[in-house]
């Protein structure tokens, strides 16, 4: 997994990073609420390990902020706070689990694995964005409960957009992640499929979800 660790204590940050990398993960570390939230908003992470007490804010606000941005990356809160109401508060704003310091590294890994299993199970079912719904198991797409027929390429493109909604996605990324190919992204190939998908969505919706960002790529807008 690609993991973001937001922790201001150097000793804890170093320990967590070492343990995660030893278990085969890639780790990006930040030590403030501001840089952690920025990284969470802009990066492509599979999980976020977030300290509750940070020098310029707290993990609770960071978690709430990224959830308000529709970022669904699993979040594991680390904190020395043991009060039940603190844990409940974190869970209510979208944290997936809460681990009290000091902690055993084996428990950290076990909780991360449990979060990953739950996330993978949930991702096997439904994706949504407002009136748009995608059933990954049935490979069905609907708008306001009306089924919309998509080709295989269009469906895979839509799924990638929904999994990365509100992020800027380059043509190169789409080529590699959706079609697993590498080629000159100046060709019209990707634009053609985006045009097909955009047209089919607009047949059933007044919202233009796919926004072209000049010289950067595309964003799938989802409030």
What average pLDDT does the segment 118-138 reach?
A: 81
| In the chain, % of residues over pLDDT 90 | 62
Tens-digit pLDDT profile for residues 64-116: 999 888 788 899 999 988 888 888 888 888 899 999 999 999 999 999 999 88
Buried b (16+ CB within 10 A) or exposed e, 87-108: bebbeebbbbbbbeeeeeeeeb
Q: Quick one: pLDDT at residue 123?
A: 59
Q: Which domains are delineated in the chain?
A: 2-123 (3.40.50.2300), 126-220 (1.10.10.10)
Q: For 144, left (φ over 0), alpha (ψ -120 to 50), or beta? A: left
Q: Quick one: pLDDT at residue 28?
A: 96
Does the predicted model carry a pTM greater than 0.75?
A: no
Q: How confident is the model at residue 124 (pLDDT cuts 50, 70, 90)?
A: low
Report the Cα–Cα distance between both ends of the chain, in Å, rounded: 27
Tens-digit pLDDT profile for residues 3-16: 999 999 999 999 99
What average pLDDT does the segment 142-160 reach?
A: 91
Tens-digit pLDDT profile for residues 162-188: 999 999 999 889 988 888 766 555 557
Cβ atoms of residues 74 and 83 within 8 Å? no
Cβ atoms of residues 78 and 50 within 8 Å? yes
User: Exposed, middle or buried, 33 (CB in 10 Å: 0-12/13-18/19+)?
Assistant: buried
């Amino acid at each position: 997994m690609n993991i973001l660790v937001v922790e201001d204590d150097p000793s804890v940050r170093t320990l967590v990073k070492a343990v995660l990398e030893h278990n085969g993960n890639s780790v990006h570390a930040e030590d403030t609420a501001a840089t952690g939230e920025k990284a969470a908003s802009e990066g492509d992470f599979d999980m976020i390990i977030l300290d509750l007490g940070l020098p310029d804010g707290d993990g609770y606000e960071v978690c709430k902020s990224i959830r308000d941005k529709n970022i669904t990356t699993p979040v594991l809160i680390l904190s020395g706070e043991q009060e039940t109401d603190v844990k409940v508060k974190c869970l209510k704003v979208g944290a997936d689990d809460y681990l009290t310091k000091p902690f055993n590294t084996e428990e950290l890994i076990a909780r991360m694995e449990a979060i990953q299993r739950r996330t993978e199970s949930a991702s096997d079912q439904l994706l949504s964005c407002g009136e748009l719904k995608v059933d990954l198991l049935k490979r069905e797409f609907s708008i306001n409960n009306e089924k919309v027929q998509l080709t295989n390429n269009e469906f895979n493109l839509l799924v990638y957009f929904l999994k990365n909604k509100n992020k800027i996605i380059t043509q190169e990324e789409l080529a590699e992640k959706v079609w697993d190919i590498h080629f000159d992204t100046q060709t019209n190939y990707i634009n053609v499929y985006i045009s097909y998908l955009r047209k089919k969505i607009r047949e059933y919706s007044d919202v233009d979800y796919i926004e072209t960002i000049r010289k950067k790529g595309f964003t799938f807008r989802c409030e």
